[in-house]
Amino acid sequence: MVYNFEQRDFTLVMRQLAEQVDQLCVVDNSAKNSESFFSQFPHTVYLPLHENKGIAYAQNAGIKRLIEEGTDYILFSDQDSLIPQGAVKRLIDDTILLEQQGWRVGGVCPRAYNADTGEPYPHQVNKMADRVLNNGANVFTEVTFCMNSMSLIKAEWFKKVGLMETELFIDGVDSEWCWRAANMLELRFFVDESLHMQHHLGIGNRKIGGKIRSMTPPGRMYYQYRNYIWLLRRKYVPRKWKIYNGWKYLIKIAYYGMFVAPRLEYVRKIMSGVAAGCHIQKEKDKTNRQL
């Protein structure tokens, strides 16, 4: 999925992917049509949406198209992720290896590193510390969800679990699907610790509490807070995620409201996200009681 991308920067991503997969399906959430740019890359299908319909909608369009083409595995990619040569084959081999060991593999992904700092992104919430698998040269960490970009998932799981939840629009789309898949089919998700990808999160980095943190743009705050309230009520969402993010979002209100410009805009987006989440949740609860 792409959105308002820079062609110069995205060319390397496309070349890397085109060399490693049988077919590329690019779903474009931008208003501008870029068919002429993507026509230069082999075995690439371009699906312009002509407006931003959200990452979940775009991913569903790509999933449905690839399933129609008879694909076995679907690899997701953002416009700002880079993987090394042989990474896709490695992820497929990882899936086969883990299945041979008796695991119901829902998805496998690389370890994401901050493209600016070279440091791995923290994963306190989705890491299951009691499950680190050592298979010779392969070291896997079992996680409760795979970051969507560069995660490899069998096409058959989407037929059984369903597609991404379009109402979420952007935040929590990848994690919600993985939690739903784990709840429905007892699927498990893994990070290959020896396979690294470079990835950009947010709009830059800032050192907070001795650690480098990715900064969130104001517009994303609306979806983060709204979607957190939605997911909070779902039984299949891990309790640890609910608690951790509850504290994190409380801290973010104070930090962004006091130290990050434009402070007022951040506060407005957060409050509107909370209001939307509570209002829609009340409407859903009312409908459920009537049923």
The CATH number for 78's domain is: 3.90.550.10
Average pLDDT over residues 73-85: 93
Average pLDDT over residues 270-290: 72
Same domain, 263 and 149: no
Same domain, 257 and 173: no
Query: Would residue 68 count as lying in a domain?
Result: yes
Full domain range(s) for residue 71: 7-199
Average pLDDT over residues 172-191: 96
CA distance 90 to 14: 18
DSSP bridge pairs for 81: 199
For 86-118, what is each residue's pLDDT tens digit?
999 999 999 999 999 999 999 999 999 988 888
Same domain, 177 and 247: no
Average pLDDT over residues 130-141: 74
What's the pLDDT score for residue 8? 86
Average pLDDT over residues 271-276: 96
Residue 289: pLDDT above 60?
A: no
CA distance 95 to 189: 10
Average pLDDT over residues 235-252: 93
Same domain, 108 and 193: yes
Query: Would residue 38 count as lying in a domain?
Result: yes
Same domain, 154 and 230: no
CA distance 28 to 5: 9
Number of domains in the chain: 2
Residue 287: pLDDT above 50?
A: no
CA distance 141 to 123: 11
Same domain, 154 and 41: yes
Same domain, 98 and 224: no
Place of tokens 């900064």: 215
- Report whether the peptide linkage leading into residue 262 is cis, meaning its omega lies within 30 degrees of zero: yes
Same domain, 147 and 261: no
Same domain, 154 and 279: no
Same domain, 137 and 241: no
Q: How much is the pTM?
A: 0.92
Residue where one domain finishes, among candidates 165, 199, 233:
199
What's the pLDDT score for residue 253? 95
Query: Would residue 191 count as lying in a domain?
Result: yes
What's the pLDDT score for residue 126? 60
Query: Would residue 260 count as lying in a domain?
Result: yes
